[in-house]
Structure 1
Amino acid sequence: MSLGTYRRAVAASVALGVIGGLAATPAYAATPTPSPSSSEVHWSPLGIAAAGECTFPSQDIPSAPWALQRVLLDQLWEGGKTTGAGVTVAVIDTGVDDQNPQLANKVDEGKSLLVDKSTGKPVDGNSKTDTVGHGTKVAGIIAARPYAKTGFVGLAPDARILAIRQNDSQGNGDVNSLIEAIQIAIDKKVGVINISQDVRATDPDGGFAKKPELEAVIKKAEDNDIVVVASSGNDGREGETFPAAFKTVLAVGASDRNNERASFSQYGDFVSVAAPGVEMLSTVPKGGQCVDNGTSFSAPYVAGVAALLKGKYKNWTAAQIRARIEQTAQRTERGPNKFIGWGVVDPVKAVKSTAKAEASPHPDATLKLASAPLVAQPLGLEETQADRDRRTGTYALGLGGLLVAALAGGAIVVRDFRRRQDG
């Protein structure tokens, strides 16, 4: 092979290596914001878009996601005694598909309230129909059972799910259907309600249509000792969202691997706690798992903890369960702040704490603050697929750079050698 041919071959190999390394890094889909459902209300189903190239069914991911790496599951479940058994969590969302093996035979059908606003007709399917995947991911974070093909599992694996299909990727849900969905959950006597969506005020006085009715049904849930958990929103700015901002709702923002507020997480004094919401692995329709981002997936993380506490302390009020989750969160200061509320939820501490039941959290001057954030293992068997893809891409780029440098250096050596011969 001539030197020129060799150089061209090496250059082509380097180019392919660099391009291949870049292609190995997955691209995450941006979360769309549906059009407002009326002139007075901004209705936003949070994180509806599936991340990356997720298809239904998807592959089983064998490694444990980072959000579970920091949780000692045997301690959390107290050797099998505290697993959410006997507790039903209502998932008001895009439906929950129980064809996924991790959700099979544990999803109860509530009702499909989904109506196509353009036609006024009910959308085909029932509450176990999930064409978007959002509700199935939410349900998995709460109650997916252990499965040999994956390291992912729900925080309350023996809890049941009540599926209520109320929204979709087109924003066809509204405040009326949300109110009806919450009432259905109350009538079914669930222990926890998860709402990974919100309505936001756009009128000058901060109100919105049907706010009194929504607040009334939230109060009714509280009166029935149902823990209502809602996501704070994904706009990444300060401002209240509802139902999260109602006083009796556990409003959850998103935290990242460093226990800091995720950049997209809505914040304000209404935020109760934060929970992992970045690169969250969970179940998808028909089987397998995918990764997604958003406060939509932080809320069910907390709802799973609430289900564990509901099962362990059957006589506790909703307020006492909220207070336990808030009081045991990993704090950065003695009291709450508008970014992560009382702190990042600590599932094991919430379940294992022996403190007496309280109706509200409180600042504690003697509380030992977390001196350093918990960081999941960056490499090894427990890394996520995204970690492996990024690492592979980095290695490929680094190797490509070295090869380019070597090629350039070799060319200079050959040039100088020829000059000496010619001289």
Structure 2
Amino acid sequence: MARGMGIDVVATVPGLLPAALGTGEAATGGFVVAEIEPARAEALRRNVTPNIVIEENHRLSYGDKPIDDVATRGSLRLAAAGMTQSFPVKLRIVGRGGAPIEGAVVQLASDGLSEGRTDANGVATVTLFLAPGGRARLLYVDVPLDHWDILVHDPAITPGQSYELRAKSVFEAPELLPNFPGDFRFGWGQRLMELDRMPAEFDGTGVRIAIIDSGADPTHPLLQHIKQGFDATQPNIVGGNWAQDSIGHGTHCAGVITARPTSGHAMRGFAPGAEVIVFKIFPGGDFTALALCIRKCIELQVDVVNLSLGAAVSQNVMVDQQLDAAVKSGVAFIVAAGNSGDDVQFPASSRYSLAVAALGAQGVFPESTYDESTFDPTLPMDRGLFSPNFTCHGPRIAVTAPGVSIVSSVPNGYNPESGTSMAAPHVTGLAALLLAHHPMFRVQFRERNAARVNALYQLIHSICAPVALGPDRAGAGIPRLGSLIGTLLPAQQPGTGDR
């Protein structure tokens, strides 16, 4: 009957609302996920009973860098109007030791937008579009591995010329990453949050962390202790290809949370002793996949979940119900606020989440990079710390954490990245340390319930150092561990709560 109504049911998610949707089947409770034409969905929304909610199954994003300024948008209008001439331009991109970089994506915004990819010689050919009196407006090079990207406003590019640009390598930046990676232990963000003051034995042992993202590469030298995962890009959440991270985003988050030092790779995450479960939701992640992952986290008795993802909506009832159920089961959610520079995205906006804004610091990135462009002098600044222009903000922000030029693991190497996606893992890792080592989770909040989660959120608030960026951008401030060092206890087995 559902197909006859133009409704193609593709999945069901348990919940509190009836699932019949006029299918003629008994309402068993929960949500039906279906493909339906927008006009028919709107007609259903107007006619269903109040206890049925019809909402869009939005795709989730994980925070690509927004190379989309006024100059770029204006250039597209000029090109569409046929007001330009076009000229080929060759750009050669080199990196560590002057070696050519293959596979870098080169974008040139002039009076039109052109994109190319570098070949084995590091060369990409792009098109310079020029209207009368026009110019090149923006050059961006997304370097795939081990380098900062390149971003130049108003580059001096003219027709008929070839150019060479050199990307800064993470292995050749002693002023930023001394002795990297062999003896470089803590990133600037971890030092700001005082992880470097923690004794080594305080490592999150006994806590179970879930990372719902693009997967994670357990062959990376820092992540070989990750043994379990699920692939939610498949129709059912199965073991699948969770270890294949084609995007690199989840592997980067995992490094901040749980990197375990090994020979030649000294960087430590916040909780290298924790048990980590990876959920692969990207590419293609949506609210349905997220809801099913959250239910799996309840089943597995996860302690804390990192969500470096979101959608530009205020709420999703299906996901919010799963978050409610999970919190009542003792699962905490640390969620990136979003990178659109406006209102906090969902699920960070949910009352069941702890929303994290991003924080930047001067002097932690090279010039002519995307990271440099995130500093806006018109926004508040405090002792070299700044609120980057991309971070979402508003009254739902709980805390702020380092999220600009964060160097962490990616498949086959390292990359510096910026976003609230990088800020949330700092707080997730810190939360794992608190659950593993703070005495109140050994006694009064040992039981897995909402009180335990709320106590964790309140403790994170209480250890924040205020920062003068405004509560809508910084919340309670920057969580720091230093004040708790005398309070924390050694790891306890088997875990922080009754499983």
Which TM bucket (shorter chain)? 0.5 to 0.7
- 1:122 is displaced (CA, Å) by 10
1:322-401 correspondence to structure 2 within 5 Å: 322-332=457-467, 337-349=471-483
Show the counterpart of 1:285: 411
Aligned residues of 2:305 and 2:331 also touching (Cα < 8 A): yes
In the alignment, does 2:186 pair up with 1:67? no
SS of the residue aligned with 2:401? strand
How many correspondences in the alignment?
Answer: 298
1:169-188 correspondence to structure 2 within 5 Å: 172-188=284-300
Show the counterpart of 1:54: 144
- 1:124 is displaced (CA, Å) by 11
Show the counterpart of 2:430: 305
CA–CA distance in structure 2, aligned partners of residues 102 and 147 of structure 1: 7
Letter in structure 1 aligned against 2:453: A
Quick one: which of 247, 257, 273 aligns to 2:399? 273
Aligned residues of 1:268 and 1:339 also touching (Cα < 8 A): yes
Aligned residues of 2:218 and 2:225 also touching (Cα < 8 A): yes
- 1:222 is displaced (CA, Å) by 1.0
Show the counterpart of 2:302: 190
Show the counterpart of 2:208: 88
Letter in structure 2 aligned against 1:347: L
- Taking structure 1 as reference, are residues 225 and 330 closer, same or farther at Cα in structure 2, changes over 3 Å only? same
- 1:262 is displaced (CA, Å) by 1.6
CA–CA distance in structure 2, aligned partners of residues 46 and 351 of structure 1: 34
| Percent pairwise identity | 28
Letter in structure 2 aligned against 1:330: A
CA–CA distance in structure 1, aligned partners of residues 269 and 433 of structure 2: 11
- 1:250 is displaced (CA, Å) by 0.8
TM-score normalised to the size of structure 2? Answer: 0.55
Letter in structure 2 aligned against 1:162: I
CA–CA distance in structure 2, aligned partners of residues 235 and 256 of structure 1: 16
CA–CA distance in structure 2, aligned partners of residues 283 and 188 of structure 1: 26
SS of the residue aligned with 1:251? strand
- Taking structure 1 as reference, are residues 283 and 97 closer, same or farther at Cα in structure 2, changes over 3 Å only? same
SS of the residue aligned with 2:255? helix
CA–CA distance in structure 2, aligned partners of residues 351 and 94 of structure 1: 34
Aligned-residue CA RMSD in angstroms?
A: 3.1
In the alignment, does 2:348 pair up with 1:244? yes
- 1:251 is displaced (CA, Å) by 0.4
- Taking structure 1 as reference, are residues 295 and 353 closer, same or farther at Cα in structure 2, changes over 3 Å only? farther
Q: Per chain length, whose mean CA-contact separation is higher, i.e. which structure has more relative contact order (CA < 8 Å, sep 6+)?
A: 1
Give ranges in structure 1 of 5+ residues lacking alignment.
1-37, 355-423
In the alignment, does 2:366 pair up with 1:232? no
In the alignment, does 2:419 pair up with 1:294? yes
CA–CA distance in structure 2, aligned partners of residues 332 and 141 of structure 1: 22
Give ranges in structure 2 of 5+ residues lacking alignment.
1-36, 39-55, 66-103, 105-140, 148-168, 172-179, 362-383, 446-451, 489-499
Aligned residues of 2:212 and 2:293 also touching (Cα < 8 A): yes
SS of the residue aligned with 2:397? coil
Between structures 1 and 2, the one with greater helix share = 1
- Taking structure 1 as reference, are residues 56 and 121 closer, same or farther at Cα in structure 2, changes over 3 Å only? farther
- 1:48 is displaced (CA, Å) by 4.7
Aligned residues of 2:146 and 2:414 also touching (Cα < 8 A): no
SS of the residue aligned with 1:256? strand
- Taking structure 1 as reference, are residues 137 and 177 closer, same or farther at Cα in structure 2, changes over 3 Å only? same
Quick one: which of 178, 199, 215 aligns to 2:320? 215
Question: Larger Cα Rg: Structure 1 or Structure 2?
Answer: 1
CA–CA distance in structure 1, aligned partners of residues 233 and 311 of structure 2: 17
TM-score normalised to the size of structure 1? Answer: 0.64
SS of the residue aligned with 1:92? strand
Show the counterpart of 1:406: none
Letter in structure 2 aligned against 1:114: T
Quick one: which of 455, 461, 468 aligns to 1:320? 455
Aligned residues of 2:193 and 2:478 also touching (Cα < 8 A): no
In the alignment, does 2:246 pair up with 1:131? yes
Show the counterpart of 2:96: none
Show the counterpart of 2:78: none
Show the counterpart of 2:59: 43
